Amino acid sequence: MSHAASSMSPDQASSPTPDQATLWIRQPLAVSDPDAAGGIVIRGDRIVEAVAAGASPTVAIDRTFDASRHVLMPGLVNTHHHFYQTLTRAYSPALNKELFPWLTTLYDVWANLTEDQLALASELAMVELLMSGCTTVADHHYVFSGALESAIDVQVDTARRLKVRAALTRGSMSVGRDDGGLPPQSVVQDETTILDESARLIDAYHQRGEGAMVTLALAPCSPFSVSRELMQESARLAEEKDVRLHTHLAETEDETAYCQKLFGMRPLDYLEATGWLSNRTWLAHGIHFNDDEVTRLGRAGTGIAHCPSSNMVLGSGMCRTLELEAAGCPVGLAVDGSASADHSNLAEEMRQAMLLGRLRYSPSQVTHQHVIRWATEGSAGCLGRSDIGGLKPGQQADIALFKLDEARFSGAENPLAALLLCGAHRADRVMVAGDWRVVDGQPQDVDLDALLARHDQAARALRSAL
């Protein structure tokens, strides 16, 4: 069989190709999957072949992309974020605080969010994630006021326009300060409104099956901001609609004390009592679990979104990633909110996860390969997906290509390890569903300078509304 193919420059590689044309990402400098050491072949929105080292594809090739200066990875998968928080980064009144006082300081700012501000915050967060090599963005939006009734609709529109894969969650808060919760009453909704709106969004936007670009999940914020009834009814609705469940859990010792005082049980016991301890659920943070709880989580197949930077900034603690994964939990990686991690960069988060993991365990136990797996396959598992997060034939053509051409990489002998050890922060190329969305480090179809200017203006307006 002839494998003659037209070679193309990076600019040519970004041109649209017919659905049945094949593209060989050829002979990468390094690759995260040893089975694809010779690159991968893409047809349409799928990977159709992983090429062995030194080999050529077995299918006819229409075009090639010379990846000899690139490290090839599956597109990174984010599992937890709060897009709106890009508007309140490094906010002075909230600095140097632990979770509960940090939240109570910022809730009064977030209560003034408008849909235009949320749209800009969401776009910037998605673009920032995309530029870091992330092809599946996730968000947990739970701040709803009279001005934010269509918040999830806005995020769906933004994701579609940017052509990124999005796992969006309909968050909620139903217990405000008047009833012993943390959020102000202006962002609290009643259970009927929350559940009716959740059902509407699932019916309107949730896609199923391989290649889904937008998925919806139900995500009551946390044990200290929603009622027991809402947790139970959300689990029932998720079962009825066959969607996933997401919430914050076991992030701080304060949360444990709150649950024991209010419910007479630890956070995981409360989760199980409300019907959430299952493989339908993935949890943000998941830090303060004892040995028995780790075993129970693994037996249930409940996922954990590890948020290393946020956990360090707020002093929340260190997630038991290795024990959770060994017990059977999918463990993924997340940037968390841009007011706690202060960034939306999943490549940087990989380095933080490796360093924090080595501090908790040892360098031999938390390798760069471990963390890359968390950021790809593990994160996909948290979202209940096997069609993303890898470079296997049949999986989606979501990939990230990194160059090692900055001063920080000079002298690096192991290109794959260098991504984490030397601190990669921006991908050179990013493809989502077979479509190049980042070329030469720049997002496609986005005026980045104009977006930054509008976003900065929106952040100033939000702060001035206090």
Strand 30-31 versus strand 70-74 pairing type: parallel
Helices 191-205 and 151-162, axial angle in degrees (round to 10): 20
pLDDT tens digits, 397-415:
999 999 999 999 999 999 9
| Across 85-94, 146-155, 160-169, 289-298, least confident range | 146-155
Average pLDDT over every residue of 337-351: 94
Is pLDDT above 50 for 4? no
Angle between helices 115-131 and 151-162 (to 10 degrees): 40
Domains and CATH numbers, the chain: 6-74+396-442 (2.30.40.10), 76-382 (3.20.20.140)
With a cut of 80, say whether residue 18 has pLDDT above it.
no
Q: Taken in order 348, 354, 358, 361, is the CA torsion positive or negative?
A: positive
**Tell me: the pLDDT tens digits for 112-145?**
999 999 999 999 999 999 999 999 999 999 999 8
